[in-house]
Amino acid sequence: MGDVKLLAGERIDQLYSQDIQIIQSSQVFSFSLDAVLLANFAKAPTSAKGRLVDLCAGNGAVGLFMAPRTRGKIAMVELQARLADMAERSVVLNDLSEQVTVYHQDLATITDQIPKDSVDVVTCNPPYFSDLPTSKKNPNNYLAIARHEITTTLNTVLATTSDLLKMNGKAYFVHRPDRLVELLALMSANRLAAKRLQFVYPKAGRDANIVLVEAIKDGKATGLKVLPPIMTYGDDGAYSPAIHKMLYGEVSDE
């Protein structure tokens, strides 16, 4: 592992299933289960010539978690300077500087750095909530920007995704089910055809609180598959075997 300096309030956590360490801070940003779910759901390009771009990268969780599964290059795009810096140091921490590049900039301008129609896979864990006058936002600006569409919009995310992808390139998103209709409509408007959906439930008998979506650029509008559901917790309150495996690389015996 590379040698990095931690700032005040930072810690190093580990995703044991991928042997990846990541710099976190509860004062600024920590990845959630959503990032682990997205990294597990997405299919990384296997070729060394493949290119993956993670938009709204935060502290780099999704890109870092997918790095062991591809020989291709990974670009992580993050607007907030502190989070981009945390991602960059995590790249060094995991000795991934030859494979992973962090871009500190607005995703809407990333095609200035990464050519259009050049990317095989795009992943994104975007802000979930619209920026409405009535929206109750976190007083922590880092968290407010991560959760609300203050600096970007869902349509901008999808338009940028479409611009980056090659024809038949794939995109993967994690979002909230209550915005799924909007997400699918905006995907279609941006030449992205949904191909796989998977709902995640807190536990059996509860409403889904997460949806994972795979799309193909310029794909046919038919052929959508809805995958079996994922339960986050079992009746005993412990992580389900599926989630336990994503986090720790083995199925829980509990």
Structure confidence by residue, pLDDT tens digits, 3-22:
899 999 999 999 888 889 99
pLDDT tens, 67-115? 999 999 999 999 999 999 999 999 999 999 999 999 999 999 999 999 9
How much is the pLDDT for 134? 56
What pLDDT is attached to residue 123?
Answer: 98
pLDDT at 227: 98
pLDDT at 218: 97
Looking at per-residue pLDDT, the higher value among 57 and 144 belongs to: 57
Tell me the pLDDT tens digit for each residue of 115-160: 999 999 999 999 875 654 555 545 555 454 555 455 689 999 999 9
Backbone angles phi, psi at 120, to 5 degrees: -85, -40
Position 251 confidence tier, pLDDT thresholds 50, 70, 90:
low
What pLDDT shows up at residue 132? Answer: 46
Residue 129: predicted pLDDT = 58
Q: Is the pLDDT of residue 239 over 50?
A: yes
- Looking at per-residue pLDDT, the higher value among 189 and 254 belongs to 189
Distance from the Cα of residue 81 to its chain's centroid: 18
pLDDT of the residue at 16? 86
The rounded percent of the chain whose pLDDT value lies above 70 is 89
Q: What is the rounded distance in angstroms from the CA atom of residue 125 to the CA atom of residue 206?
A: 23
- CATH code: domain 10-228 is 3.40.50.150
Which pLDDT does position 156 carry in this prediction?
A: 95
**Domain definitions of the chain by residue range:** 10-228
Asked whether the beta carbons of 43 and 111 are under 8 A apart, the reply is: no
Q: What is the pLDDT of residue 99?
A: 98
